[in-house]
């Protein structure tokens, strides 16, 4: 009888707090429809691992086994990149290549946060924390894993949580950084047809050039661009659809519930973990600020003005950030269609975040 009630006696306030956190994530996924394929498994997994003596974790726990099989060796993030690459249409970027500079500008928060985080953590941990600002979960996992960060769990949770919370985090920052007049700027999309050969060569060339500049990014950018090549080659349509839907969704579910294995009360409710979450938010905010500010600076020299909101889409949260900017544009002016421009910046941010991750690995790996 005593063994039957043993778990009740082991409960303390920390478990209750984690249950609340898990419940909030589930609520956001179901009620607010905020990245349910990601937040729902993370939220439910949080409940699983915060039951005293839970069999889901530990040496033979199912989630621990998944973590060792899919995250400790970087398998899940890289496979997910194939699916993400198959989803991405680079045509808006190829039509207007200058949008690439916004993706680079929106990585400002990563390096700014690196300097700040280095005051509190070892340089490898600081570099791993800074990459949260890329809003790119797979890149965050690979960088933290290869740099041997002891805060991998907190970094994963922060990266994926902030990715899912883009619709909440970005709009107030964008509004704070822009005026009503700037948000009303219309951007024409030149719907030129990009030759198929260009679409096929683009992922190949990007992989080769990026690999030469930042060899440590080859696996990241290579898997991403391989997924895109599957999409654009025209002879693997069924495989492309599988990668975009079945593969991406399945791996995301496994990734989400596996990430939750690191959200135990003992490892999550600590000052250093909370500081990492704060620094991750700091990086995320300054990436958004950097993209918007760069667009505003460019407008000082351009006759044909750019809507500075598209700069915020330069983070890697594809396609969420691009959609957020588009919706904000429509809210200000129902005839202002920013989708193609914002998505073009968004996909450039996907490439830039991977390159930023590779550069960090080159510097500190």
93-106 pLDDT, tens digit each: 888 888 888 888 77
204-284-114 Cα angle (round to 5): 85
Q: What is the DSSP string of 79-114?
A: HHHHHHHHH---HHHHHSGGGHHHHHHTTHHHHHHH
Q: List Cα–Cα distances, 202 to 102, 150, 165, 223, 257, in angstroms.
A: 18, 37, 31, 14, 34
The band of 2, judged by pLDDT with boundaries at 50, 70 and 90, is low
The band of 5, judged by pLDDT with boundaries at 50, 70 and 90, is low
176-197 pLDDT, tens digit each: 999 899 888 888 777 678 889 9
| Mean pLDDT value across the chain | 85
**CA distance from start to end of the chain:** 53
Residue 77 has pLDDT above 90, yes or no: no
359 and 145 Cβ atoms separated by less than 8 Å: no
Angle, helices 62-70/75-87, rounded to nearest 10 degrees: 70
Residue 71, pLDDT score: 85
Q: How far is Cα 310 from Cα 335, in angstroms, rounded to an integer?
A: 16
User: What pTM value is reported for the model?
Assistant: 0.84
6-37 pLDDT, tens digit each: 667 677 889 999 999 999 989 988 988 777 88
């Amino acid at each position: 009888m005593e063994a039957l009630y043993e778990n009740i006696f082991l409960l303390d306030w920390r478990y209750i707090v984690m249950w609340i956190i898990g419940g909030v994530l589930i609520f956001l996924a179901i009620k607010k429809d905020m990245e349910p394929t990601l937040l729902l498994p993370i939220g439910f997994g949080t409940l699983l691992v915060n039951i005293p003596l839970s069999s889901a974790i530990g040496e033979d726990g199912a989630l621990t086994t998944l973590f060792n099989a899919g995250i400790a060796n970087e398998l899940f993030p890289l496979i997910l990149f194939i699916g993400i690459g198959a989803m991405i249409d680079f045509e808006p970027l190829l039509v207007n290549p200058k949008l690439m500079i916004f993706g680079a500008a929106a990585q400002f928060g990563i390096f700014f946060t690196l300097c700040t985080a280095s005051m509190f953590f070892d340089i490898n941990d600081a570099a791993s924390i800074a990459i949260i600002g890329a809003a790119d979960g797979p890149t965050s996992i690979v960088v933290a894993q290869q740099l041997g960060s002891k805060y991998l769990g907190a970094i994963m949770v922060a990266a994926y949580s902030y990715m899912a919370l883009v619709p909440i985090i970005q709009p107030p920052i964008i509004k704070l950084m822009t005026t009503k007049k700037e948000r009303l700027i219309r951007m024409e999309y030149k719907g030129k047809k990009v030759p198929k050969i260009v679409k096929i060569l683009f992922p190949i060339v990007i992989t080769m050039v990026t690999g030469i500049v930042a060899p440590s990014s080859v696996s990241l950018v290579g898997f991403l661009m391989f997924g895109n090549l599957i999409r654009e080659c025209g002879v693997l349509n069924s495989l492309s659809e599988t990668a975009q839907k079945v593969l991406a969704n399945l791996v995301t579910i496994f990734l989400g519930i596996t990430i939750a294995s690191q959200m135990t009360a003992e490892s999550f409710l600590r000052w250093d973990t909370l500081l990492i979450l704060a620094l991750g938010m700091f990086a995320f905010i300054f990436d958004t600020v950097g993209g918007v500010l760069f667009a505003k600076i460019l407008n000082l020299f351009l006759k044909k003005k750019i809507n500075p909101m598209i700069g915020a889409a330069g983070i890697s949260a594809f396609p969420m950030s691009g959609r957020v900017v588009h919706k904000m544009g429509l809210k200000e002016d129902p005839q202002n269609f920013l989708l193609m421009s914002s998505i073009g910046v968004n996909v450039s941010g996907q490439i830039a975040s991977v390159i930023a991750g590779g550069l960090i690995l080159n510097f500190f790996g």
